[in-house]
Structure 1
Amino acid sequence: MEELRTRLLRPLERELADGARDRVVAGGLEKLVQNLARPFPEVQRTLSGYRGMDLQTRLERLKKAIALLGGQAKVPSEPCPSATPPLGPDLDAPLGVLELGPGGRKKLAELGLRSLRDLLHYYPRRYEDRRTLGSIRDAEDGSKATVVGKVLSRELVKTPKKGMQLVQVRFMDAWGWKFTGVWFNQPWVLKQVPEGASLVLTGRVQRRGGAISMVVEYFEDEGGESLSTGRIVPVYGAKEGVGQAFLRRLVWRALQAFPHLPDPLEAYVKDQGLPSLDFALRQAHFPDTEEKLEQALYRLKFDEYLLLELKVMITSGGSALLGRMFKVTPGMLERFRATLPFQLTRAQERVLGEILSDMQSERQMARLVQGDVGSGKTVLAAAALYIAAENGAQGALMAPTEILAKQHFENLTRYLYPLGVRVDLLVGSLSQGEKKTVLERLRTGQTQVVVGTHALIQDGVEFHDLGLAVIDEEHRFGVLQRRRLLGQRPDVLVMSATPIPRSLALTMYGDLEVSQIDELPPGRIPVRTKLLTQKTRLQAYAFARQEIQKGHQVFVVTPMIEEGASEATLELAAATRLREELESLLPEARIDLLHGRMKPEEKDAVMERFRRGEFDLLVSTTVIEVGVDIPRATLMVIENAERFGLAQLHQLRGRVGRGGLEAYCILIAGETSKRTLERLRVIEGSNDGFYIAEQDLRLRGPGELRGLRQSGMPDLRLGDLASDQEIIERSRALAQAILETDPYLDKPEHALLKRELQARAEAVGFREVI
């Protein structure tokens, strides 16, 4: 009883000294009284309804409650101001306004915390439910526990063998059970645990016979603010020298400094069914219940994605641009379909409808079409280019390599020549005379569709009237390269054979509408996939021999090392060694090598020779990913498959079986941990690119997916792209609606939102697409 009396009296005295403002105790004084004053019903009755009382009544009731507990009611001559005066709605104020103590500013700067905004958006890493802290006797051996203990005695012990210093403190919990707290090589702890102090301790419990000890991980004075007990307690990511108690008090004081936190989405909160930002930040740091915490985190995730979408859309300049309005008639579509030697799949028809709807609208089309290799993206590009030509506009298709550009040229000519559409090719290997002729035809409008590489955006290329730009595998081009092609504000169709989850597509490509061709054309035989380990590796090459004897061709892929000259040299050495090994294993096979140090024209030349069947087996680093058809290639062997992402493995696998022959992929795992094999079995068991991409995201997280680090994809603080699609869709729709009416957030009602976007720009990194 005496222990409880003391624990209750201290905060009541501090509340009185603070002028009865109900800001000393986190969550309000009433909450503390409900938790601690059960043995003192008269005190509970006296302070019941405290939050709703006027200042004078609070002062009188506090004095009475303190007297009931046997304390001294020291009333200030006038209500003294809190240590932290209200700051008003200035989130950009430096943390120095919170009285950080010696070295506090430097410690917080190491955590990236410099302003109140930084601090309030420094969300807890996890939470501990300490609403009812148990007794030490209930903690199991080896388990982690949080208990309150009163210091009975303490000593510093030096171990004779290793010269280690042990701080050993004898504690008693609220139920009278005694235990020993242990700290290794932290002698300064002695000064922080005076006899009689009541501490909240978290650590690993050890039981030896009847003795109980705890290896303490962190501790804090139970104090009067009640931030560490009797509640759901936040646990922050911290560094040495920055304690949890310090961070909690700091966040609490920052929240208290604002009577009501300003909300950049105040005008939209009601319509969106979202809680206010004030509620969200207070509950995210100091939740009253699990339900309120869930609501708070939903709102903060929503804001995180909204700012990301706004950033991408504004930076791209494509949020509300007027584009071409193309006319589309049933007759045009009938003529196009009539020339096709096959029927479009349902998925192709759906995506074609989305493309044509964009082309007919007054807004500039900005659409990403993604689908597996062989899902039929090129025929949709052909349909869009045909519609543009029928409207008197020119179309351009830009591919990342010359060999891929030539392949697209052949396909588009096959689709469009029967319809009377003039298609030209513009690549670096054309002679000066051929280039000059093509450029003249482009300038005068004789060429209706041009297919090319980055040659399309070089000086001297002048379109008569560019109305549609199709960009294949856009991530292979630089931002400035793309912008040169887009200078005339054509409609834009981006194609990618790298299926990525819709949630990731909507955040990476925030300025693009996303279409998915999630169905393969009928008759396409799935590639059969087998996972082997190093022990059974040679089986792959025995099978390769059989395929080569049938007149088929084989890819062997070895991981590419992406950074630095020395790594590139190692990569070349590894690929060369593999080629030499295969030449001795398969002496009858004609083998060639493709690697990252080759010039683009050298790579194209090797691929062209392979396509013509001049050799049987190609050893390659992953420069063969994109697009090229080798009709007689039936086997893909991937060495050290664990070093590739699942989506990347799936894309590599799509390089074989393009000519209608049954095809195979063999994955060789160089490392065989349980986790590695679980990941690779996803590929072995599925040919669905979108499912595989979802699993890749779930297993590795967005930051690890190939290429996203470099592209500026942020590390989301709260968001989880693997499970947040609904929040992403909602926040993206709101971002679009806001920018429809105010493209650069210049209206007064968006001033706070614009400031928030500027202030948190680094945290919501972005990827520029158009």
Structure 2
Amino acid sequence: MLSLQDSVGSLAGVGPKRVDDLKTLGIFTVEDLLLYFPTRYDTYEVQSPSQAIDQQKLTLQGTVMSEPVIARFGYKKNRLSFRLMVENEIVMVTFFNQPYLKNKIELGKDIAVYGKWDGTHKRLAGTKVISVTTEHNQFDAVYPSNKAIKQPTIRKFIKVAFDKYESVIASLLPPALIERYKLVERKDMIREMHFPSDDESANHARRTAAYEEFFLFQLRLQAIKMENQQKNGISILYHNDELKEFIQRLPYQLTNAQQRVINEICRDLRRPVQMNRLLQGDVGSGKTVVAAIAMYATITAGLQAAIMAPTEILASQHAQNLAQLFEGLPVNVGLLTGSMTAKQHRELTAQIKNGAINLIVGTHALIQESVEYANLGLIVTDEQHRFGVNQRQKFREKGEEPDVLAMTATPIPRTLAITAYGEMDVSVIDELPVGRKQIKTSWLKSNQVGVAWEKVKQELLNGAQTYVVTPLIEQSETLDVQNAQDLYEELQEYFGPQYQVGLLHGRMANDEKDAIMEAFKANKIQVLVSTTVIEVGVDVKNASLMVVYDADRFGLAQLHQLRGRVGRGSRQSYCILIADPKNQVGIQRMQTMVETTDGFVVAQRDLELRGSGDVLGLKQSGVPEFKVGDPVGELKMLQIAKSDAENLLLTPSWETKTENLPLVEYLTIRKLQTHFD
């Protein structure tokens, strides 16, 4: 019996070698092949050169006015050229490395050629000769391909698969949704995506494919969320009076956003189901104190709380700050890291196991098998996207379904929050503490770098410190960007011996990096030249200036994170971006950084300029990349799909209805995976 889960090796013409070739494209099953959709279509409708746009792909038809000539150059390289009369105008046509086309091009005959139009020189870089009589309205689907497997082979295999399996392609979407949104059946959608009859059919199929992709994604995500909510968790019955007293003794007033978020978290703590909440807030918005309040609430209920940070220096900073914050209260803070001696580790883990330490701060050392907790009630992960799914899962298994609070300072616009964190409840701190000074940002060209050094000198004279960030460690022959090593030597000469210049980069050993950072925190280093290793979380309140070299090499979200390293204290702080962007998008990105310090605005702009796949600059961010749907341009469709998925899951006995059986089978095969494909 045919099944879409059959291996592609079951298709005629697909031998073991081709099975391996298809695997390089992520194609294993017949369904994978059928859902390997084209990125675009080449259409061969004849156009006029007078209406053509420069660099546009088009088809020109005309009469061959010169014999085709082949010129050879380099190893196995050649160029075939001839003149074509199109609408009383001569166009030079060139084909590269297709000498066999010479037999198709005859002097005085009419032909049609598809290729890229060079409007400045009235030339066509041809890619295909088309039959004048039969193929003008043909669509050619264009697929992502590689050296192992070419376009024509992919097209042929998809045709073979569709012809053989068409009868077993069942629609996954409930009929009511297909009818409501005027979608097409899955079989017709697949056919028209690969072999469209016309523009309208191709667009209709694409709309259906995008909705199906969003709906299936959201259905799996919402199922995970509902499953998690049904698990019995710990009902953390914290002491409200003690919590209020703690909040009142804080040396600053909480913002309305912080108070709102604390209420959301506290409601979750009391519920007997496991909390799975993301705390999202811009750099400096006060996430750490919110997490501290949640941890203190947990401790007042007689339970332990733990916070995991991605680096030792950040974990150490958290331990220090939390110890100060909870001074005089029954909170015992322990710091657990990988660099402890065996004896220190043994003593500390014994105190964690017997409950003597009720607030545990650490790195991934917190999830080692040797670490046992007395009664873990709350887990906080800082900069959660820097931990893998398995690491976070291991942490959750350390207690009896402890509540989970994940924090991120990477601003993710609403557009992506429902895709990246759809299975989590999201709390957003969307205002900065009162009196916090905005970081003043400016953009200079590389020939104005002297202005930046004058500003550094001015800040140093005022007793402040400066970061100087560059993308590379050592000189590169391929990239013309300032590198950290050269810059370090240059600045030592420029600012020494009056001021100390330090160098920090990712190739250093961890203890070396920590020593440099500690020296900078202690003001033993006044100018720190660094790669992006200083991006996450370390507080140096005396640092008032950030200079970023080759700023156009960084994503906007990353630049915003870097900028957030200054402005941590009471000083007015500044960020200077040095960049010579090569295009309009690069210029717009620099202008965005100058115009706003709002991380959510920056992230949304980054999304618009760079697309969703790259928005965080980190693949481990968990933002899925859709094959067809665009979560930015089609946000409304994504939100509708989310709502439809929730409604279906809340419908009694939806999985036993005949019309939903293909969908249930699809979900069963994927076993409601907790991570994205």
Q: Which residue of 1 aligns with 2:465?
A: 553
Q: Tell me which moved more, 318-327 or 470-479.
A: 318-327
Q: Tell me which moved more, 671-680 or 107-116.
A: 107-116
Cα deviation 1:77-113 (Å, max 9, x = unaligned):
xxxxxxxxxx976464748757899x99999888776
Q: Tell me which amino acid in the other structure corresponds to 2:557.
A: A
Within-5 A mapping of 1:8-23: none
Q: Which residue of 1 aligns with 2:38?
A: 124
| In structure 2, C-alpha distance between the alignment counterparts of 1:534 and 1:193, rounded to whole Å | 52
Q: Which residue of 2 aligns with 1:397?
A: 307
Structure 2 stretches lacking a partner, 5+ long: none
Deviation, structure 1 residue 324: 2.1
Within-5 A mapping of 1:689-768: 689-705=599-615, 708-709=618-619, 715-732=625-642, 752-753=662-663, 756=666
* Length-normalised TM-score, structure 1: 0.71
| In structure 1, C-alpha distance between the alignment counterparts of 2:538 and 2:640, rounded to whole Å | 38
Does the Cα contact within 8 Å between 1:506 and 1:514 map onto a contact in 2? Answer: no
Q: Tell me which moved more, 598-607 or 312-321.
A: 312-321
Which one of the candidate residues 404, 408, 411 is aligned to 1:496?
408
Q: Which residue of 2 aligns with 1:609?
A: 519
Question: Does residue 600 of structure 1 match 2:510?
Answer: yes
Q: Tell me which moved more, 712-721 or 336-345.
A: 712-721
Cα deviation 1:107-165 (Å, max 9, x = unaligned):
988877676434432323334677xx56769765977544788xx99996446998977
Within-5 A mapping of 1:569-648: 574-587=483-496, 588-648=498-558
| In structure 1, C-alpha distance between the alignment counterparts of 2:374 and 2:99, rounded to whole Å | 80
Q: Which residue of 1 aligns with 2:447?
A: 535
| In structure 2, C-alpha distance between the alignment counterparts of 1:203 and 1:320, rounded to whole Å | 58
Deviation, structure 1 residue 650: 1.1
Deviation, structure 1 residue 630: 1.2
Instruction: Tell me the SS of whatever aligns to 1:258.
Output: helix
* Length-normalised TM-score, structure 2: 0.79
Q: Tell me which moved more, 656-665 or 306-315.
A: 306-315
| In structure 1, C-alpha distance between the alignment counterparts of 2:432 and 2:500, rounded to whole Å | 33
Cα deviation 1:596-628 (Å, max 9, x = unaligned):
233323322322232222232222222222212
Instruction: Tell me the SS of whatever aligns to 2:263.
Output: helix
Instruction: Tell me the SS of whatever aligns to 1:537.
Output: helix
Q: Which residue of 1 aligns with 2:571?
A: 661
Task: Describe the shift of the 1:326–1:748 C-alpha distance in structure 2 as closer, same or farther (beyond 3 A).
Answer: farther
Q: Which residue of 2 aligns with 1:189?
A: 101
Does the Cα contact within 8 Å between 2:549 and 2:577 map onto a contact in 1? Answer: yes
Deviation, structure 1 residue 646: 1.5
Does the Cα contact within 8 Å between 1:324 and 1:491 map onto a contact in 2? Answer: yes
Task: Describe the shift of the 1:200–1:97 C-alpha distance in structure 2 as closer, same or farther (beyond 3 A).
Answer: farther
Does the Cα contact within 8 Å between 1:637 and 1:667 map onto a contact in 2? Answer: yes
Q: Which residue of 2 aligns with 1:296?
A: 205
Structure 1 stretches lacking a partner, 5+ long: 1-86
Q: Tell me which moved more, 349-358 or 199-208.
A: 199-208
Deviation, structure 1 residue 450: 2.0
Does the Cα contact within 8 Å between 2:72 and 2:79 map onto a contact in 1? Answer: no
| In structure 1, C-alpha distance between the alignment counterparts of 2:130 and 2:14, rounded to whole Å | 17
Task: Describe the shift of the 1:583–1:442 C-alpha distance in structure 2 as closer, same or farther (beyond 3 A).
Answer: same
Question: Does residue 688 of structure 1 match 2:571?
Answer: no
Task: Describe the shift of the 1:343–1:297 C-alpha distance in structure 2 as closer, same or farther (beyond 3 A).
Answer: farther
Q: Tell me which moved more, 382-391 or 408-417.
A: 408-417
| In structure 1, C-alpha distance between the alignment counterparts of 2:359 and 2:117, rounded to whole Å | 73
Deviation, structure 1 residue 466: 0.5
Cα deviation 1:32-69 (Å, max 9, x = unaligned):
xxxxxxxxxxxxxxxxxxxxxxxxxxxxxxxxxxxxxx
Instruction: Tell me the SS of whatever aligns to 2:568.
Output: coil
Does the Cα contact within 8 Å between 1:554 and 1:616 map onto a contact in 2? Answer: yes
| Aligned alpha-carbon RMSD (Å) | 5.0
Instruction: Tell me the SS of whatever aligns to 1:615.
Output: coil
Q: Which residue of 2 aligns with 1:261?
A: 169
Does the Cα contact within 8 Å between 2:166 and 2:187 map onto a contact in 1? Answer: no
| In structure 2, C-alpha distance between the alignment counterparts of 1:673 and 1:592, rounded to whole Å | 34
Q: Which residue of 2 aligns with 1:462?
A: 372
Which one of the candidate residues 456, 470, 489 is aligned to 1:544?
456
Does the Cα contact within 8 Å between 1:89 and 1:262 map onto a contact in 2? Answer: no
Q: Tell me which moved more, 530-539 or 451-460.
A: 451-460
Instruction: Tell me the SS of whatever aligns to 1:188.
Output: helix
Instruction: Tell me the SS of whatever aligns to 1:122.
Output: coil
Cα deviation 1:725-749 (Å, max 9, x = unaligned):
334444455666778899xx99998
Task: Describe the shift of the 1:397–1:288 C-alpha distance in structure 2 as closer, same or farther (beyond 3 A).
Answer: same
Instruction: Tell me the SS of whatever aligns to 2:544.
Output: strand
Q: Which residue of 2 aligns with 1:519?
A: 431
Q: Which residue of 2 aligns with 1:247?
A: 155
Cα deviation 1:372-396 (Å, max 9, x = unaligned):
2210101211222122223332111
Task: Describe the shift of the 1:758–1:126 C-alpha distance in structure 2 as closer, same or farther (beyond 3 A).
Answer: farther
Does the Cα contact within 8 Å between 1:650 and 1:683 map onto a contact in 2? Answer: yes
Instruction: Tell me the SS of whatever aligns to 1:397.
Output: strand
Cα deviation 1:315-334 (Å, max 9, x = unaligned):
99958543223346865664
| In structure 1, C-alpha distance between the alignment counterparts of 2:521 and 2:622, rounded to whole Å | 36
Does the Cα contact within 8 Å between 2:385 and 2:622 map onto a contact in 1? Answer: no
Task: Describe the shift of the 1:427–1:502 C-alpha distance in structure 2 as closer, same or farther (beyond 3 A).
Answer: same
| In structure 2, C-alpha distance between the alignment counterparts of 1:403 and 1:178, rounded to whole Å | 70
Does the Cα contact within 8 Å between 1:199 and 1:219 map onto a contact in 2? Answer: yes
Does the Cα contact within 8 Å between 2:473 and 2:484 map onto a contact in 1? Answer: no
Cα deviation 1:466-508 (Å, max 9, x = unaligned):
0110011234445544343221231111111222334444444
Deviation, structure 1 residue 183: 6.2
Does the Cα contact within 8 Å between 1:370 and 1:495 map onto a contact in 2? Answer: yes
| In structure 2, C-alpha distance between the alignment counterparts of 1:465 and 1:344, rounded to whole Å | 30
Question: Does residue 345 of structure 1 match 2:259?
Answer: no
Task: Describe the shift of the 1:202–1:98 C-alpha distance in structure 2 as closer, same or farther (beyond 3 A).
Answer: farther
Deviation, structure 1 residue 430: 6.2
Does the Cα contact within 8 Å between 1:650 and 1:689 map onto a contact in 2? Answer: yes
Task: Describe the shift of the 1:460–1:204 C-alpha distance in structure 2 as closer, same or farther (beyond 3 A).
Answer: closer
Instruction: Tell me the SS of whatever aligns to 1:467.
Output: strand
Q: Identity over aligned residues, as a percent?
A: 36
Within-5 A mapping of 1:306-321: 306-308=215-217, 321=231
| Structure exhibiting the larger radius of gyration computed from Cα positions | 1
State the number of aligned residues: 658
Within-5 A mapping of 1:82-101: 90=4, 92=6, 94=8
Q: Tell me which amino acid in the other structure corresponds to 1:401.
A: T
Does the Cα contact within 8 Å between 1:98 and 1:254 map onto a contact in 2? Answer: no
| In structure 2, C-alpha distance between the alignment counterparts of 1:256 and 1:199, rounded to whole Å | 36
Q: Tell me which moved more, 652-661 or 317-326.
A: 317-326
Task: Describe the shift of the 1:331–1:403 C-alpha distance in structure 2 as closer, same or farther (beyond 3 A).
Answer: same
Question: Does residue 651 of structure 1 match 2:561?
Answer: yes
